[in-house]
Amino acid sequence: MAGPEQHGDSGHRRRVVLFSLPFHGHLNPMLKLAALLHARGLGVTVLHTCFNAPDPARHPELAFVPIHETLPDEATSPDSDILRKLLALNAACEAPFRAALASLLRGGRRDVACAVVDGQCYAAMAAAGELGVPALALRTDSAASFRNMLAWPRLRDAGYVPIKEEQLDEPVPGLEPLRVRDLIRVDGRDTDEHCSFVASVAGAVRASVSGIVINTFEAIEAAELAKIQRELSLPAFAVGPLHLLLGRTPPEEQSLHEPDRGCLAWLDARPPRSVLYVSLGSLARVDRGAFEVMAWGLAGSGVPFLWVVRPGSVAGGAAAAGDEAPPLPDRFEDEVRDRGKIVKWAPQREVLAHAAIAAFWTHCGWNSTLESICEGVPMLVQPCFADQMVTARYVTHEWGVGLEVGEEVVERGMVAKAVREAMAGDGGARMRERAHRLQMQASAAATSRPWTV
Ligand code: UDX
């Protein structure tokens, strides 16, 4: 049963119902879209899980309704990979989402014009379809990554998936510039479960939605958008970069952790373009060996850095699941004392906009990638799973604004060399120029959108 609506927005306007999976990188773009729709005069109701629930006090203009799901551990545990989480969330949200939407429709919300649901939540797409509510799917990854998902049956029939070691460097026909090693993967695997998840998403999109909304912009993905439209015979709308559309000081974001704002003062004391920002996003986990190579690569590079070491971001050990950040290697802090700042969570958008930042060592989560592009910051890429593999390839080989740290971070000398090249080498300078061009194009896209506020 849906609970009572909390907060604002009880007028008689045409209404959009939104539903996002409870991941940081999904909720924030969805809430930005909600704010934009509201600013255009629509009523907005956000259905949401109780797990990682959005804070209604931050969005008094929106109405919030919890769906009261019951989640199994694997939906939320830091020990389960993204695929397990997605499958468990879809299963657990299906009935409560349907009930909540039906209850809205019955209970006086006859003004519901359409639903915008998470593009990974096939359960919500299908439920909206069954209830006769026109639905759009919001993709919080890139258009290229979504195309990769849609192509999965063809890739399987052509023998590209399951991925085989000896084919890793082969180009994938129809998905250029991707090679087999750049295809979406979960923990290096592409199991039957992965195939069935991808098939469920593609099936629900084809059967239940009237269009796709993608947090991207045409200057970087026009070709991919056109191909998606052709392949699905559905409209695909580029609506991004969403975070630029709400102006330079959008409402405070939902945050996984309290951002450590002290790092901004630390950056203030640094010369322009001198600091490498390092963060692997909100979900990725690396093993202890890769973490140590990252640490010693940073130490060996000699460059100043701001490093987000998130609780739970290193697999194994006592701190893997708690609120404590994983321990740094012995002697590391002594070695980098004057030039390294380590935080559990950073105000990332402000960090990337800071004049002291020269480059971003990123896992290529789509939000991080867009945020870096929008600030003209070149990247060092270390994709960890899923769409990050696809995005990393576009960053390095399509848009030319990133260098690889190495898909497997295995050797500290190589890491240090890549860091120095991105910060001070010729490759870094060329990337910076191109990143500046993309920044201008992103900003032009944002100002050209009729719904920008
Ligand atoms: C993953 C995927 O890779 C992404 O493409 C997908 O659509 C969602 O799941 P995630 O690990 O959350 O994403 O990365 P990303 O999409 O980059 O989002 C991370 C967000 O957290 C960014 O908006 C970033 O600004 C924010 N962040 C990260 C902080 O605010 N502070 C930090 O210290 C780290």
Mutate which of 24, 81, 145 for ligand 1? The one with the most ligand atoms within 8 Å of its CB, which is: 24
Residues 6+ apart with CB under 8 A from 30: 18, 19, 20, 46, 116, 118, 138, 140
Do residues 383 and 407 lie in contact, with contact meaning Cβ atoms separated by under 8 Å? yes
> 256: CA distance to ligand 1 center in Å?
10
- Residue 379 in contact with ligand 1 by CB distance below 6 A: no
Average pLDDT over residues 108-125: 90
Alpha carbon distance 379, 289 (integer Å)? 22
More confident residue, 264 or 109: 264
- Residue 371 in contact with ligand 1 by CB distance below 6 A: yes
Closest to 239 in 3D by CA, of 257, 215, 269: 215
Closest to 59 in 3D by CA, of 89, 20, 97: 20
Average pLDDT over residues 190-219: 90
Alpha carbon distance 453, 441 (integer Å)? 18
More confident residue, 105 or 4: 105
Closest to 47 in 3D by CA, of 25, 62, 32: 62
pLDDT the model gives residue 449: 82
Report CA-CA distances (Å) from 427 to 57, 133, 189, 373, 417: 45, 50, 32, 17, 12
> 113: CA distance to ligand 1 center in Å?
30
Q: What is the pLDDT of residues 353-390, one digit of tens each?
A: 999 999 999 999 999 999 999 999 999 999 998 899 99
Is the confidence at residue 8, as pLDDT, over 90? no
Is the confidence at residue 177, as pLDDT, over 80? yes
Mutate which of 267, 282, 391 for ligand 1? The one with the most ligand atoms within 8 Å of its CB, which is: 282
Alpha carbon distance 40, 77 (integer Å)? 38
Q: What is the pLDDT of residues 11-63, one digit of tens each?
A: 557 899 999 999 999 999 999 999 999 988 999 999 999 999 999 988 888 99
Longest Cα–Cα distance of the chain, Å, equals: 64
Q: Whose CA is nearest to atom 3 of ligand 1?
A: 365
Do residues 355 and 272 lie in contact, with contact meaning Cβ atoms separated by under 8 Å? yes
DSSP letters for 141-172: S-HHHHHHHHTHHHHHHTT--S--GGGTTSB-
Alpha carbon distance 395, 392 (integer Å)? 5
- Catalytic residue IDs: 26, 118
Do residues 147 and 202 lie in contact, with contact meaning Cβ atoms separated by under 8 Å? no
Is the confidence at residue 185, as pLDDT, over 70? yes
Is the confidence at residue 249, as pLDDT, over 90? no
> 89: CA distance to ligand 1 center in Å?
19
Lowest mean pLDDT among 10-19, 68-77, 151-160, 178-187: 10-19
pTM: 0.93
**Which of 227-231, 413-417, 447-451 is the most confident on average?**
227-231
Is the confidence at residue 321, as pLDDT, over 70? no
pLDDT the model gives residue 322: 64
Report the mean per-residue pLDDT for the chain: 89
Is the confidence at residue 3, as pLDDT, over 50? no
Mutate which of 280, 341, 364, 368 for ligand 1? The one with the most ligand atoms within 8 Å of its CB, which is: 368
Average pLDDT over residues 156-180: 92
Is the confidence at residue 319, as pLDDT, over 60? no
Q: What is the pLDDT of residues 423-450, one digit of tens each?
A: 988 989 999 999 999 999 999 999 988 7
